[in-house]
């Protein structure tokens, strides 16, 4: 298990460019399974989860050429679907959440797939009901395979229908869209998730010949087509990485430019940081975060303590609450964080409390942060990264802290952040991988 040693207290300065979006990459790479033609995807982040998914595609027979570090060509012409029956496949799927996104395309094209328990962050219950319900509505049937803890799913044919999702699940919506694009007739998906990841997937599918309207809304209409063809697609900058860098720049920056962020696709992320008192200037498609001696948390208009809560898009993504919490520890004022979607994502605040942060964990979903207004710096310590976003939040805390910190289990951070220590060290951080 690898660790980071971080010597805190070095201000960061300069320019950083976000990687391509992890959650979009997982979807659009799986979409390449929908055609036997070549699909070329650029701005693919070189991170553990995405590399594991590419390996899985390779294992089932997808032809893959790496054109450059962040660009690949996929050709799903001749697949070995027997591999889906193997224990090795089940084991590999358990390493990443994104593995679940192979089911929709396989079902659409071959009318059968295997559902295994996917991996991903252990941040509470992560049910797959929306996926199951959507596939069933399209005509698929599930059979539990005793002794293997997997479901086989198959369909004689998939037929379009109207569906109202039980919740706006991101991967669930992506999976159902991919299953429906080649179903017979029309499908409408109401209460669809509409994150930029989903919008990008729909645009890519349309460029492959699919007929999807309502992109960007929670009502999608899909007219099934016989066949999809190849395409070229470029992944958007990772909005969660952009948000992580805004938080880092606010805490430890001495003037940071975040380049080419695709401001139009960040939704309310910049405003969530502004509500903590962070100044964010825009210059073309770049964000500039000046040095902050102090920043003051907003209150609600009636003067009461502000709450920052997650919600499906266009609400605030749950994936940035951990970073916002760290930023709040040095703000002036008090804020309540309400993590509605996940049950175990706030427990990492114990580690921030050990570092000297003033946080009350009210229950698994809510934490109150009383900021230090830079009167007291956090102190370094030894900690372990429980999940990807807690990991980056702890890394930011450690860079800002007095003294040296050690973060174990940094494989969690590597799941989603490309070459992070090299990129942060080039801004002035002092992080060593051991």
Ligand X SMILES: CC(=O)N[C@H]1[C@@H](OP(=O)(O)OP(=O)(O)OC[C@H]2O[C@@H](n3ccc(=O)[nH]c3=O)[C@H](O)[C@@H]2O)O[C@H](CO)[C@@H](O)[C@@H]1O
Binding residues for UDP-N-acetyl-alpha-D-glucosamine: 97, 319, 341
Q: Which residues does residue 14 pair with via DSSP β-bridges, in sequence order? A: 256
- Chain centroid to CA 175: how far? 16
Name the residue among 434, 359, 363 with its Cα closest to residue 393.
359
- Determine contact, residues 328/273, Cβ cutoff 8 Å: no
- Give the residue closest to ligand PEP by C-beta: 120
Name the residue among 199, 260, 317 with its Cα closest to residue 20.
260
Least separation in angstroms between CB 97 and ligand PEP? 4
CA distance 159 to 172: 18
Among 121, 195, 414, 418, binds ligand PEP (CB under 6 A): 121
Q: Cis link prior to 314 (omega < 30° from 0)? A: yes
Size of the site for ligand X (CB under 6 A): 17
Per-residue DSSP letter, 305: B
Among 235, 389, 417, 427, binds ligand PEP (CB under 6 A): 389
* Residue 104 interacting with ligand X (CB under 6 A): no
Identify which range of 10-18, 102-110, 156-164, 167-175 contacts ligand X by CB under 6 A: 167-175
DSSP class per residue in 44-56? ----HHHHHHHHH
* Residue 416 interacting with ligand PEP (CB under 6 A): yes
- Determine contact, residues 214/206, Cβ cutoff 8 Å: no
Compute, in degrees rounded to 10, the torsion defined by CA atoms 263, 265, 271, 273: -80
* Residue 312 interacting with ligand X (CB under 6 A): yes
Cβ proximity to ligand PEP, 10 vs 126, nearer residue = 126
* Residue 97 interacting with ligand PEP (CB under 6 A): yes
Q: Which does 270 bind (CB under 5 to 8 A by kind): ligand PEP, ligand X, none?
A: none
Residue list, annotated binding site for phosphoenolpyruvate: 22-23
Task: From the candidates 49, 121, 310, 414, give the one annotated as an active-site residue.
Answer: 121
Identify which range of 51-59, 149-157, 178-186, 314-322 contacts ligand X by CB under 6 A: 314-322
Residues, the chain, total? 434
- Determine contact, residues 372/333, Cβ cutoff 8 Å: no
Q: What are phi and psi of 332, to 5 degrees?
A: -95, 120
* Residue 346 interacting with ligand X (CB under 6 A): no
* Residue 395 interacting with ligand PEP (CB under 6 A): no
Binding site for ligand PEP (CB under 6 A): 49, 97, 120-121, 319, 388-389, 416
Binding site for ligand X (CB under 6 A): 23, 26, 97-98, 126, 167-172, 312, 317-319, 341-342
Q: Which residues are catalytic?
A: 121
């Amino acid at each position: 298990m690898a660790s980071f040693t971080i010597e805190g207290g070095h201000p960061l300065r300069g320019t950083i460019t976000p990687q391509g979006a992890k959650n979009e990459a997982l979807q659009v790479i799986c979409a390449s399974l929908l055609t036997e033609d070549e699909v070329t995807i650029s701005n693919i982040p070189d991170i553990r989860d995405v590399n594991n998914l590419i390996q899985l595609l390779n294992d089932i027979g997808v032809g893959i050429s790496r054109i450059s570090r962040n660009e690949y060509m996929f050709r799903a012409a001749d697949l070995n679907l027997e591999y889906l029956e193997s224990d090795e496949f089940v084991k590999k799927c358990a390493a990443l959440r994104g593995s679940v996104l192979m089911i929709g395309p396989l079902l659409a094209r071959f009318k059968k797939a295997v559902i295994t328990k996917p991996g991903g962050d252990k941040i509470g219950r992560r049910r797959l009901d929306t996926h199951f319900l959507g596939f069933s509505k399209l005509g698929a049937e599930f059979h539990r395979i005793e002794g293997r803890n997997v479901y086989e799913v198959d369909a004689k044919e998939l037929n379009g229908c109207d569906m109202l999702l039980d919740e706006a699940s991101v991967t669930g919506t992506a999976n159902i869209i991919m299953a429906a694009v080649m179903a017979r007739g029309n499908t409408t998906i109401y209460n669809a998730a509409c994150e930029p990841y989903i919008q990008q997937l729909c645009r890519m599918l349309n460029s492959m010949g699919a007929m999807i309207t309502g992109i960007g809304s929670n009502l999608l209409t899909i007219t099934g087509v016989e066949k999809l063809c190849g395409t070229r697609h470029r992944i958007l900058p990772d909005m969660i990485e952009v948000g992580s860098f805004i938080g880092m720049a606010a805490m430890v920056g001495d003037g940071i430019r975040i380049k080419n962020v695709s401001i139009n696709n960040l939704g309310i992320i910049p405003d969530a940081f502004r509500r903590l008192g962070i100044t964010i200037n825009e210059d073309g498609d770049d964000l500039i975060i000046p040095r902050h001696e102090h920043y003051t948390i907003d209150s609600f208009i009636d003067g009461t303590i502000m709450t920052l809560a997650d919600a499906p898009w266009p609400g605030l993504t749950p994936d940035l609450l951990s970073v916002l919490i760290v930023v709040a520890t040095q703000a002036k004022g008090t804020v309540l964080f309400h993590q509605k979607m996940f049950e175990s994502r706030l427990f990492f605040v114990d580690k921030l409390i050990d570092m000297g942060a003033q946080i009350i964990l009210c229950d698994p979903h809510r934490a109150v942060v009383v900021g230090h207004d830079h009167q007291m710096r956090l102190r370094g310590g030894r900690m372990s990264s429980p999940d990807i976003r807690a990991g980056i939040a702890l890394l930011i805390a450690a860079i800002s802290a007095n003294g040296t910190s050690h973060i174990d289990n940094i494989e969690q951070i590597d799941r989603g952040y490309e070459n992070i220590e090299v990129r942060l060290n080039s801004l002035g951080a002092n992080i060593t991988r051991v």
